[in-house]
Chains A and B, each alone.
Chain A
């Protein structure tokens, strides 16, 4: 009996909270009309990529704005407008371990980014790149088949390497250097030693919109 009463009180409490939230918070979504020009909708990015201790490198890429909408929320009589964007995304990077010769590689990946930007230009983004390829570059390598030993030309291995990045950033509206970003990236390399190797890295860099200069 007591249990039922507790459950009922919990339901009433949750109902009150959510009802209050609905009264206080109203949201409105407006789709943004995007510019026609490809360059207007494209930002280029360049930055550091690596794990600091074991690999360091350079990454370049581009983001093409596909969809954008503005969500306005009213909560506690305060209006908040956030911009939500979906962007097509492509990257090309090169990383190496300066201490050893065993962890050098180049990668490319393509996918979709979701990004939220608040009024102050602070950004949060999730980047999913299901199409990814990582090519390791090895130093001097010899292939042994029975008694024959042959030097391998451009040694290394290719891996399917999808990735997921979550990060923050800052937008600079109307500037050529249109923003900066800091991401934590998870990439899987497969097939790697009879499995799938998980790797983590940091990405820090700047975005550029070259069309902004002309404005």
Chain B
């Protein structure tokens, strides 16, 4: 009786030890990075998934949308091509994805989240050396967090890439209404998905057109994603290629809980409140603005606004004619080409 029990205990310990080793191992080979490193900062433990080819010690730090999106959500054909050329850091922001920690709701501000990004830079320098260099890319909400980070310290970055980024959520509510009216009129005239676009007018009648309402913002935001689906059905937006994020990478329940929690904390401070438009002129590093022409979630108006206000002497603006809010999935080759070219020119 004693021997089988002893064996069972040994096997159990061996299994746990194997699992622990698997859970903690990382590959920091610069030419083929595959590492998951946590950044502990101000009560939060945030995973950074470091991948790609960093032979030149150049890293592209990506800021996901949301708030509450997934760091690895960028992965797909476009980012595979970028990974072939540079190191890419996918980062689950505070309160997002598989981030964990113990902090109060007061510690969830865009200010602290920007400091988290700068903390990430310090960690990468610690691992790969002080000669590491960085580009920053923000998509959607990441387009607000990016400027917030750069306005704290842009000296660490060689360039800023704004992908359909929301640098001005203060005015987004009213721009949604204006953009829906504009696009609905154009689509009805073209005879595309007429019942849907007519129903958009009905939805617009229901929302408060004079004052920002969080509930109405949620309706308009959802409607914007729906609208992109109809634009896709009508062949205006290309079909999106599948991303590389695996179902097993993120516990869906944890992700959803984090998403709802972080949005419930941040939305009041962002929607109708936050704007970096006036301060974009302080960002002087080379900048690249990539935008889906038919973006309904952060409409194209903001692409021009970002370009006009950025203080960079070297800036470029690219519209993706067959894309909505996610050009990295709808025009991945052109997207990767633009990003790699920008990094090549400014490294």
Contacts and interface: CB of A to CB of B under 8 A. Distances in A.
B212 to A, nearest CB: 25
Interface stretch (B17-25, B222-230, B289-297, B330-338): B17-25
A53 interface: yes
B45 A104 contact: no
Contacts of A155: 38, 40, 45
B170 interface: no
B102 interface: yes
A154 to B, nearest CB: 10
Contacts of B38: 138-142, 155
Interface in B87-109: 92, 94-95, 97-105, 107-108
A192 B98 CA distance: 11
Nearest to B249: A100
A139 B253 contact: no
Interface in B229-251: 246-251
Interface in A156-215: 157, 191-195, 197-200, 210, 213
A139 to B, nearest CB: 5
Contacts of B101: 157, 192-193
A101 B97 CA distance: 13
B15 interface: yes
A83 to B, nearest CB: 27
Contact of B104 (A97, A99, A101, A194): A194
Contacts of B94: 193
Interface stretch (B59-67, B144-152, B257-265, B339-347): B257-265
A103 interface: yes
B251 A94 contact: no
B184 interface: no
Contacts of B272: none
Interface stretch (B119-127, B299-307, B310-318): B119-127
A52 to B, nearest CB: 10
A142 B98 contact: no
Nearest to A141: B38
A141 B252 CA distance: 23
Given A191-B102, A195-B261, A142 B253 contact: no
A60 interface: yes
Given A51-B251, A139-B37, A140-B38, A192 B20 contact: no
Contacts of A54: 248, 250-252, 254
A30 to B, nearest CB: 34
Contacts of A137: 20, 23-24
A104 B103 contact: no
B251 A192 contact: no
B29 to A, nearest CB: 14
A200 B248 contact: no
A143 interface: yes
Interface residues of A, number: 43
Contacts of A157: 45, 100-102
B41 interface: yes
Interface stretch (A19-27, A107-115, A124-132, A144-152): A144-152
B122 A147 contact: yes
B102 A139 contact: no
B1 interface: yes
B26 interface: yes
A191 to B, nearest CB: 5
A176 to B, nearest CB: 9
Contacts of B44: 193
B129 interface: no
Interface of A: 46, 51, 53-55, 57-58, 60, 94, 96-104, 136-144, 147, 149, 152, 155, 157, 191-195, 197-200, 210, 213
28 contacts: A51-B251, A53-B247, A53-B251, A54-B254, A55-B251, A101-B24, A101-B36, A103-B251, A104-B20, A137-B23, A139-B23, A139-B26, A139-B37, A140-B26, A140-B38, A142-B37, A142-B38, A142-B127, A157-B101, A193-B99, A193-B103, A193-B261, A194-B104, A194-B105, A195-B257, A197-B254, A198-B253, A200-B253
Given A57-B19, A137-B23, 4 more contacts: A103-B254, A192-B101, A192-B102, A210-B1
